[in-house]
Amino acid sequence: MSVANLIACSRMYNVTPAARACWDDLFIWLSGQAGVELKIISHPAPAPLSELWARPDMGAVFMCGYPLSLLAEKERPTVLAAPVAHASWAGGRPCYASHIVVSKDGPVRTAADLPTAIWGWTVRDSQSGYNAPRDFLSGFLPERAPALRTVGPLLNPSGVVAALRDGRIEVGAMDAYAYELLSMHEPDAVVGLRIVATTRSLPCPTLVSSRTAPADMVSTLRQALLRAHESEDGRAALRPLAIERFDNPDVANYRVLAEAAEAVDQRLAAW
């Protein structure tokens, strides 16, 4: 089976050129293993991710769990699989968290300083860069909290790092898996940064296909991902991405992301 014109894209986790190359290697492996031709694209920032997720030709594209949780079943793309990271915050499940990050020589020393700090955020439809830090911070605020000082949109983890380095913000949230990839592939990018806290772990971004993608292709792509850790060449593709394996997540579990966002909206004004 070989069908052209399906795309693969790891835009959410193309945090460095080296990481992007590793994702490309995984997609090339996936294409060969499944017998499905995939065209690898970058869809670079500042192009909105929402435009990528609306494409009818998705074969294997990373999608944030929060916008996925907002879609009705008839509008939702088909979930292929979700990565299980090696890191401890994943807990051996397809979950992730956000690191609350500051500059080592900045004014924020402990979590107690967070309510008065200048926060940076990525985009409002992001779980890791917007909803997760707001949920985390709301636990430190009184019921009638003063207005917070915030800067955004910063688009992605690289934007958060840049804003911390030039002093525009004092604290920001970074997808813990993105931070892991940066630490592996471009450690200089996180030099001078310090993690002051980590949010709770929740369902992580998934690889999705378009609803209109042929069912047989979707099935072979999914099975190849779920079995990647069983072969040496599959493990070789996963290893530089710090992935233990792929799992088949229950889409119903993603509802917790929408519920958490709704709850924090009741307690904390929009950034």
Does 153 have pLDDT greater than 70? yes
Q: Cα separation of 140 and 36, whole Å?
A: 49
Q: What is the sign, positive or negative, of the torsion defined by CA atoms of 219, 250, 83, 119?
A: positive
Residues 6 or more apart in contact with residue 34 via CB below 8 angstroms: 217, 220, 221, 223, 224
Q: Cα separation of 98 and 64, whole Å?
A: 13
pLDDT score at 270: 87
Average pLDDT of span 122-150: 88
Does 133 have pLDDT greater than 90? yes
Report residue 158 as tokens.
């690289």
From residue 161, how far is each of 29, 227, 244, 265 by CA, in Å?
31, 35, 27, 26
Q: Cα separation of 167 and 103, whole Å?
A: 9
- Which element (helix H / strand E) includes 27? helix 17-34
Does 197 have pLDDT greater than 80? yes
Report residue 213 as tokens.
């993608």
Q: What is the pTM (predicted TM-score) of this model?
A: 0.94
Strand order in the sheet with 149-151: 149-151, 118-120, 171-175, 98-103, 193-198
Winning range, highest mean pLDDT, from 59-68, 105-114, 134-143, 144-153: 59-68
Q: 3-class DSSP state for residue 57?
A: coil
Q: What is the sign, positive or negative, of the torsion defined by CA atoms of 191, 194, 198, 199?
A: negative
